[in-house]
């Protein structure tokens, strides 16, 4: 006993050979540690810096696109221009289908009215010498707005003969000009707009008739190519929404069920080992492979429609499945065995022990895994390109079987649009919308975990 | 218990979804279009206006994938899971017609919708180019004539090809082989330029063709598989690069790029309609005859595409950059669609 107690005291007085070595290497070891800490810190700082650059870049470009040039016009629904038959009413003996046909024919009739005349007539009252430049005048307000006027008439024909003050979107190039997204000092031949249009835009903007208004079009409209200023994300958003719905309905219950079976019921043998290895492999398969599968099997064999969210959802479900299974299994593994044993000890069946006791405790973990899987699927683009979702779709899908685009694909499509000056900002705005959705999904996962987390 | 109910509900919805998917698979009421990215902007405008004007039909869906990609999809067969219209910036090839026939696509209605010019453009801060087809060939060829012999391409700067061209590094961004534009670029610029050389004129036809189309592989010619925006990005990154674009793309980005003259002619609407500017090509849509009457609105869409309001002079598509057909040609196309005149 005394020897052991004596040794440290001795070491201070006259260090042994080993201790001398340790003392000599001490400063070197400390230096190494300092270096490693600095390296780690700089790695963190560099990655944070890169993320900051990315965000500043996207936000500085994209945020202005949430506001868009709109002109305030006093529109007179001139009965001399809008000459349409009375809106059809359903007769007592008429079948629904006949009425629908008649109604659609009437709508087509209304579509033939030159609603652009209403806009140009109104513009002429506020613009000097407008009649000399009819072509420029006709292009001043973006062409999609004439359908907004038509829809107002279709909804309520009694509007004919009345005046309405409306905010109409200007042409995309006017927005670009007023925001300074094109070099204003360029000579005429390099400008997109005619000199007179630029003059008009500047004058109306100075008078406050053209103002930067919040762009509801960006959220309410589907994509557009004939009226670029009114291109929006509504179609892509609904497409993504339906796909996520399919993923949540398919991948989550299937994944959770598979995980429960594998973790709690399956016998441990070579087959289950093989299944386990394959699930882990599946999680590492590049997503584009699932796209090829979708194109050849789902569209080719099962004759599902092309560019439809149902196919996209099925493909993304396959992709998300392993993520959900792995997350659920690790959550189940983390539940203390004492809970199972206690339930079994009190006479519960295995099924009851799992469903009444283990699973409720595992729910926060399962939800976190599922939400992260869904968020990953939301941002996925590659497989969708292969199943025809890279298409231009100018309508909002009404069901998962209608043709649609998806948010990340819409970003890709806008990135390829030829009117760069306008769509560079629009693309960044779409990225911001997608990022916000991802961040809120991830935030929800964290919140759920924190809220229901239990410690043993 | 609650958990059981939820899982039962989920199971029921899943089954319902699968069953309705099977039922939906039988029919389709939206026109599906795919193909050339040059035609895509025009077709998209038509599709959108079509959907807005005809309340009884749904808005057609327009995909890209290049002329070859579109025609390949088009020729996959007949039925709801194949596309109805292929957009193409070149004429369909005989072997593609064969492939179509083999897969049961027998009625192929060819509709010319207008013309498009192909332009060579550089950044606005680069020098102005006055190109001849021969210059382009010499810049992109694998082998060039030198002292009566063919040697590996020696040119690295444009002024080595011709003293009058700017002293600028040779860098060409041309469309990839999936694009119809590539074929027109070769047929209207590279091969004519190649055939002006005496050495090539003296060669046999097959050998000459080989020399004319062989491209240098030292990285000075880049094939762009994506859209024109990718070509534009290449120009933004490299000041000396010259890109091949469609006229309509140039028109929308005049503040960023400027065009080169070819054979002394500046590309614009007038010089392309008159045929003075040598590098222009017709654009086509190919309509699947067997789908007319099955897919609602297909015939109406095709006719709408070549209607005066859509693609005549002063029309929507003209302001989008398409060079219109003459009124006679347009009438002929409408007639072809009505009679379902097949290739």
What CA–CA distances, in Å, run from B104 to B85, B87, B100? 15, 19, 6
Q: Which of A225, A303, A310 sits opposite B45 (nearest CB)?
A: A225
What does the pLDDT read at residue B189? 93
Q: How much is the average pLDDT of A113-122?
A: 89
CA distance A259 to A363: 13
Q: What is the pTM of this model?
A: 0.85
Average predicted confidence (pLDDT) for chain B: 88
Please give the average per-residue pLDDT across B190-213, as a whole number.
89
Rounded distance, CA B255 to CA B236, Å?
13
User: How is residue A71 written in tokens?
Assistant: 């002109």
Task: Tell me the pLDDT band of A456, cut-offs 50, 70 and 90.
Answer: low
* B28-115+282-338 and B117-280: identical CATH topology: yes
Residues A344 and A243 in one domain: yes
Flag whether pLDDT at A178 surpasses 70: yes
Count the domains in chain A: 3
- Residue B25 has a pLDDT of 45
Nearest one of A452, A456, A407, A449 to A432, comparing CA atoms: A407
Same domain, A167 and A270: no
CA angle A143, A148, A151 (to 5 degrees): 135
Domain with A316, as residue range(s), is 234-452
For the residues B219-235, what does the mean pLDDT come to? Answer: 90
Adjacent-strand bridge partners of A67: A214
Crossing angle of helices B2-24 and A309-334, in 10° steps, is 160
| Residue B275 confidence (pLDDT) | 85
Q: How far is residue A303's CA from residue A313's CA, in Å, rounded to a whole number? A: 15
**Same structural domain for residues A172 and A23?**
no
DSSP string of B53-73? H-TTSPPPEE--SHHHHHHHH
Contacts of B38 in chain A (CB under 8 A): none
Q: Of B47, B72, B255, B311, which to mutate for an interface test with A (greatest number of A Cβ within 10 Å)?
A: B255
Among residues A33, A8, A426, the alpha carbon closest in space to that of A231 is found at: A426
Give the pLDDT confidence of B72-116 residue by residue, as tens digits.
999 998 988 889 999 999 999 999 999 999 999 999 999 999 998
Instruction: Tell how many helices (H) and how many strands (E) occur in chain A.
Output: 19, 4
Instruction: Tell me chain B's radius of gyration from C-alpha atoms.
Output: 24
pLDDT at A377: 93
Q: Which residue among A192, A250, A306 places its CB closest to the CB of B254? A: A192
Q: What is the pLDDT of residue B119?
A: 93
Give residue A1's pLDDT band: very low, low, confident or very high (50, 70, 90): very low
For A206, phi and psi rounded to 5 degrees?
A: -65, -35
A9 pLDDT more than 90: no
CB contact under 8 A, A249 and B26: no
Among B13, B47, B80, whose Cβ lies nearest the Cβ of A394? B47
For the residues B129-140, what does the mean pLDDT come to?
93
- Considering only CB atoms, B44 lies closest to which of A190, A191, A225, namely A225
According to DSSP, the residues that pair with A350 across neighbouring strands are: none
Percent of chain A at pLDDT > 70 equals 97
What per-residue confidence (pLDDT) applies to B80? 82
- Residues A220 and A247 occupy one common structural domain: no
Lookup: tokens for A123: 């513009």
Distance to chain A for B299, nearest Cα, Å: 17
Using a CB-CB cut-off of 8 Å, the residues of chain A touching B3 are: 355, 359-360
Q: What is the pLDDT of residues A231-242, one digit of tens each?
A: 999 999 999 999
**Looking at domain B117-280, which of 3.40.30.10, 3.10.105.10, 3.40.190.10, 3.30.70.120 is its CATH number?**
3.40.190.10
Look up tokens 């993520």; give the residue: A323
Q: Which helix (H) or strand (E) holds B252?
A: helix B247-252
Question: Which strand (E) or helix (H) includes residue A263?
Answer: none
pLDDT of residue A416: 87
Task: For residues A241 and A390, state if they share a domain.
Answer: yes
- The mean pLDDT of A366-386, rounded to a whole number, is 91
Q: Do B124 and A190 touch (CB under 8 A)?
A: yes
Quick: pLDDT tens for A133-156: 888 888 899 988 988 899 899 888
**Which chain B residue lies closest to A295 (C-alpha atoms)?**
B81
Residues A75 and A46 in one domain: no
Q: B28-115+282-338 in CATH: which number?
A: 3.40.190.10
Q: Could you give the CA distance from residue B177 to residue B223 in angstroms, rounded to a whole number?
A: 8
Do A261 and A208 belong to one domain?
no
- Residue A438 predicted with pLDDT over 70: yes
pLDDT tops 60 at residue A399: yes
How large a percentage of chain B has pLDDT more than 90? 50
Residue A328 has pLDDT above 90, yes or no: yes
Band of pLDDT at residue B8, cut at 50, 70 and 90: low
pLDDT at B10 over 90: no
Q: Are B241 and B122 in contact (CB under 8 A)?
A: yes
The reply to whether residue A390 touches residue B55, judged by beta carbons under 8 angstroms, is: no
User: CB A254: neighbour CB atoms within 10 A?
Assistant: 18
| Separation between Cα atoms, residue A126 and residue A207, nearest integer Å | 11
Pick among A154, A392, A411, A416 to test the B interface (most B CBs inside 10 A): A392
Nearest CA in chain A to B315: A135
Residues A221 and A347 in one domain: no
pLDDT bucket at B314, cuts 50 / 70 / 90? confident
Token match 């895994």: residue? A369
**For B146, phi and psi rounded to 5 degrees?**
-145, 120
Q: pLDDT-derived band of residue B13, with 50, 70 and 90 as boundaries?
A: low
Is there a contact between B64 and A390 if contact means CB atoms under 8 Å apart?
A: yes
Domain-wise residue ranges, chain B: 28-115+282-338, 117-280
């Amino acid at each position: 006993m005394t020897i052991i107690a004596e040794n440290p005291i001795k070491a201070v007085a006259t260090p042994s050979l080993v201790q001398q070595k340790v003392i000599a290497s001490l400063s070197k070891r400390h230096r190494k540690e300092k270096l490693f800490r600095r390296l780690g810190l700089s790695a963190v700082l560099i990655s944070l810096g890169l993320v900051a650059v990315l965000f500043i870049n996207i936000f500085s470009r994209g945020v202005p696109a949430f506001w868009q040039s709109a002109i305030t016009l006093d529109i007179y629904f001139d009965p001399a221009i809008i000459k349409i038959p009375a809106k059809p009413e359903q007769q007592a003996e008429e079948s629904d289908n006949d009425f629908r046909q008649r109604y659609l024919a009437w709508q087509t009739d209304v579509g033939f009215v030159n609603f652009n005349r209403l806009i140009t007539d109104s513009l002429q009252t506020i613009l000097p010498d407008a009649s000399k430049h009819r072509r420029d005048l006709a292009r001043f307000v973006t062409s999609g707005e004439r359908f907004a006027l038509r829809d107002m008439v279709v909804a309520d024909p009694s509007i004919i003969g009345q005046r309405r003050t409306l905010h109409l979107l200007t042409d995309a190039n006017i927005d670009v000009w007023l925001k300074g997204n094109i070099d204003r000092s360029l000579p005429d031949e390099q400008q997109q707009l005619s000199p007179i249009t630029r003059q008009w835009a500047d004058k109306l903007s100075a008078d406050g008739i053209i103002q930067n208004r919040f762009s509801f079009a960006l959220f309410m409209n589907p994509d557009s190519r004939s009226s670029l200023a009114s291109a929006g994300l509504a179609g892509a958003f609904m497409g993504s929404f339906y796909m996520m719905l399919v993923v949540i309905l398919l991948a989550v219950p299937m994944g959770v069920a598979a995980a429960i079976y594998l973790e709690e019921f399956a016998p441990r043998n070579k087959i289950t080992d093989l299944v386990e290895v394959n699930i882990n492999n599946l999680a590492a398969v590049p997503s584009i492979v699932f796209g090829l599968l979708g194109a050849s099997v789902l569209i080719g064999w099962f004759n599902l429609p092309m560019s439809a969210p149902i196919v996209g959802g099925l493909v993304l479900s396959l992709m998300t499945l392993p993520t959900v299974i792995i997350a659920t299994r690790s959550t189940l593994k983390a539940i203390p065995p004492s809970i199972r044993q206690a339930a079994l000890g009190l006479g519960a069946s295995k099924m009851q022990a799992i469903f009444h006791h283990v699973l409720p405790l595992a729910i926060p973990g399962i939800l976190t895994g599922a939400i992260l899987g869904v968020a990953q699927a939301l941002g996925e683009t590659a497989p969708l390109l292969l199943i025809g979702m890279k298409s231009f779709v100018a309508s909002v899908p009404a069901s998962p079987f209608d043709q649609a685009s998806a948010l990340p694909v819409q970003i890709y499509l806008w990135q390829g649009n030829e009117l760069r000056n306008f769509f560079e900002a629009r693309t960044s705005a779409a990225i911001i919308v997608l990022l916000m959705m991802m961040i809120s999904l991830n935030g929800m996962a964290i919140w759920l975990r924190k809220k229901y987390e239990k410690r043993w | 218990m609650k958990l059981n109910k939820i899982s039962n509900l989920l199971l029921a919805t899943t089954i319902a979804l699968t069953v309705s998917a099977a039922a939906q698979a039988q029919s389709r009421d939206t026109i599906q279009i795919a193909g050339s990215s040059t035609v895509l902007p025009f077709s998209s405008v038509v599709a959108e206006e079509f959907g807005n004007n005809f309340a009884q039909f749904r808005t057609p869906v327009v995909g890209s994938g290049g002329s070859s990609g579109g025609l390949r999809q088009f020729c996959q067969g007949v039925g709801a899971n194949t596309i109805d219209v292929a957009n193409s910036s070149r004429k369909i090839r005989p072997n593609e017609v064969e492939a179509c026939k083999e897969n049961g696509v027998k009625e192929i209605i060819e509709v010319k919708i207008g013309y498009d010019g192909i332009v060579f453009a550089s950044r606005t801060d680069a020098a102005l180019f006055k190109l001849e087809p021969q210059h382009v060939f010499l810049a992109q060829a694998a082998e060039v004539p030198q002292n009566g012999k063919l040697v590996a391409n020696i040119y690295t700067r444009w002024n080595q090809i011709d003293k009058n061209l700017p002293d600028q590094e040779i860098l060409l961004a041309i469309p990839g082989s999936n694009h119809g534009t590539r074929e027109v670029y070769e047929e209207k610029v590279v091969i004519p330029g190649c055939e002006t050389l005496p050495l090539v004129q003296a060669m046999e036809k097959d050998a000459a063709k080989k020399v004319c189309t062989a491209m240098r592989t030292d990285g000075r010619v880049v094939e762009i598989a994506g859209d024109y925006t990718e070509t534009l990005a290449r120009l933004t990154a490299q000041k000396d690069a010259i890109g091949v674009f469609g006229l309509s793309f140039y028109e929308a980005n005049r503040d960023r790029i400027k065009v080169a003259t070819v054979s002394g002619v500046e590309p614009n609407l007038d010089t392309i309609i008159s045929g003075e500017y040598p590098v222009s090509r017709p654009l086509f849509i190919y309509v699947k005859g067997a789908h007319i009457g099955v897919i609602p609105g297909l015939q109406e869409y095709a006719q709408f595409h070549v209607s005066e309001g859509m693609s005549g002079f002063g029309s929507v598509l003209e302001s989008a950059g398409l060079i219109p057909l003459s009124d006679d040609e347009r009438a002929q196309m409408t007639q072809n669609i009505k009679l379902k005149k097949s290739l």
